[in-house]
Amino acid sequence: MKGPHVPTFLQTRLKSAIAASAAATLLATAACGGDDELDTLNIDFATYNPLSLVMLEHGWLEEELEDHGVDVEWMQSHGSNRANENLRAGNIHIGSTAGSAALLNRAVGADTHTILIESQPEWSALVTREGSGIDSADDLEGATVAATLATDPFFFLARTLSEHGLSLDDVEVQSLQHADGRQALDNGDVDAWAGLDPIMASAEVDGAELVYRNVDFNTYSVVNATGDFLENHPEIAQVVINVYEQARQWAEDNPEETAEILAEYASIDGDVAELVLSERVSFDIDPVPGEDLHAALEPVGPFFVENGDVDSQDAVDEALETLFRSDFAEDREATDAQGTEDAADEATITEDEDQ
């Protein structure tokens, strides 16, 4: 059974969300002036961005911004789509996404820029359960597949189908957030799931099968910021990047402790967190958005146009050429914040009511 052409719906939803959030963004812009007028930095954390968890756990960002008179308010992103929506709405200044989602966000008109590469992950694959009848990507025609729209797993699915002579029209896509997709697979409500770590690794340990993997179809984990924030508060943006660099160095030096933090925030077993960080995530990369990220994103862009998400290839090309603000990562200097043991308990965390 063929499902609806999901990307057309995605295009409508994305553009409607941008229009609906325009007023909120203007209000947020009006409330912010220069560095001395920013009272609170709104930033996300995500289990698919382990370095954000390290920062939140230690309280380094709060410590570094105290001298600037800026408070920190955290919001959890459960997917790149939610991070993008909150960036567009002005709910956060800085958000975590996959590279593909960052490019799509800008291609459909959002004033956002990628300012840092957080890690190079192999965080997505095609996941099935025993007895699904799907032993390879060639078996997907007519299947029901769970995926989170506008995220790396969704584009992983689209590219996987294309590589095997199929398209999104040949499957029925169930639009679900990542955790709900895993639950739908467990319940037998879908035949397959375009998974995302660490949820995917937990499902694998519990018996799910990764029937198709392709590291080249995974784009980088990136950190993005609104154009207005970068223009009006570059000093604060640089502090964030510097704290990220401290977190990167700490994670590389303390892999066991990093796994413990990931396990706690993702509510997964320690061995699952270790699997993710030791086999599927690399922090040992150049964090400056540049040629490698550009090369990873180029093959994704044509899918935006083919599927109706973006009006033209020219729009995608322009978005890709203007997406990066590499200067902050180029100028990074790791902070030496000390943090506190109870920093996470004292952190200000705002719930995303729409998640």
Rounded Cα–Cα distance for residues 286 and 93 (Å):
23
Rounded Cα distance, 124 and 147, in Å: 11
Burial of 352 (0-12, 13-18, 19+ CB in 10 A): middle
Structure tokens at 167: 């398209």
* Assigned CATH topology for domain 29-120+222-350: D-Maltodextrin-Binding Protein; domain 2 (3.40.190)
The predicted model gives 308-330 an average pLDDT of 96
pLDDT for 353 equals: 67
124-217 matches 29-120+222-350 in CATH topology: yes
- What is the distance, to the nearest Å, from the Cα of residue 146 to the centroid of all Cα atoms in its chain? 17
Pairwise CA distance, residues 190 & 134, whole Å: 11
**Closest to 183 in 3D by CA, of 101, 127, 108:** 127
- Which SS3 state, helix, strand or coil, does residue 4 take? coil
Locus of tokens 């699997």: 275
* Helical H segments across the chain, by residue range: 6-31, 50-58, 60-66, 80-89, 99-107, 152-163, 178-187, 199-205, 227-232, 234-253, 255-266, 270-275, 291-297, 301-306, 313-323, 327-330, 343-346
* 177 and 153 Cβ atoms separated by less than 8 Å: no
Q: How confident is the model at residue 151 (pLDDT cuts 50, 70, 90)?
A: confident
- Determine the Cα–Cα distance for residues 255 and 162; give it in Å rounded to an integer: 37
Place of tokens 């939610």: 82
Name the pLDDT band for 149 (thresholds 50, 70, 90). confident
Mean pLDDT, the chain, as a whole number? 90
Confidence of residue 150 (pLDDT cuts 50, 70, 90): confident
Percent of the chain with pLDDT over 90: 83
Q: How far apart are CA 355 and CA 78, in angstroms?
A: 7
Instruction: Please report the sign of the dihedral spanned by the C-alpha atoms of residue 159, residue 163, residue 167, residue 171.
Output: negative
Q: Tell me the DSSP string of 73-116.
A: EEEE-SSHHHHHHHHHHTS-SEEEEEHHHHHHHHHTT--EEEEE
| Whole-number pLDDT of residue 201 | 93
The tens digit of pLDDT for each residue in 98-122 reads 999 999 999 999 999 999 999 999 9
Q: Is residue 219's pLDDT more than 90? A: yes
Q: What b-and-e string marks burial along 112-146, b requiring 16 or more CB atoms within 10 Å of the CB?
A: bbbbbbbbbbbbbbbbbbeebebeebebbeebbbb
Q: 10 pLDDT exceeds 90?
A: no
Residue 20 confidence (pLDDT) above 60: no
pLDDT per residue as tens digits for the range 49-77: 999 999 999 999 999 999 999 999 999 99
Is 169 exposed, middle or buried, given 0-12, 13-18 or 19+ CB atoms closer than 10 A?
middle
On whether the CB atoms of residues 18 and 309 are closer than 8 A, the answer is no
Q: Which two tokens stand for residue 265?
A: 């925030």
pLDDT at 36: 52
**Mean of pLDDT values over 279-304:** 95
Measured between alpha carbons, how far is residue 105 from residues 131, 245, 332 in Å?
Answer: 37, 25, 25
Which position has the higher pLDDT, 30 or 124? 124
> What is the domain partition of the chain in residue ranges?
29-120+222-350, 124-217
Specify whether domain 124-217 bears CATH 3.40.190.10.
Answer: yes
Choice among 256-265, 301-310, 342-351 with the minimum mean pLDDT: 301-310
Q: Predicted confidence band at 211 (pLDDT cuts at 50, 70, 90)? A: very high
* CA 321/CA 313 separation, integer angstroms: 12
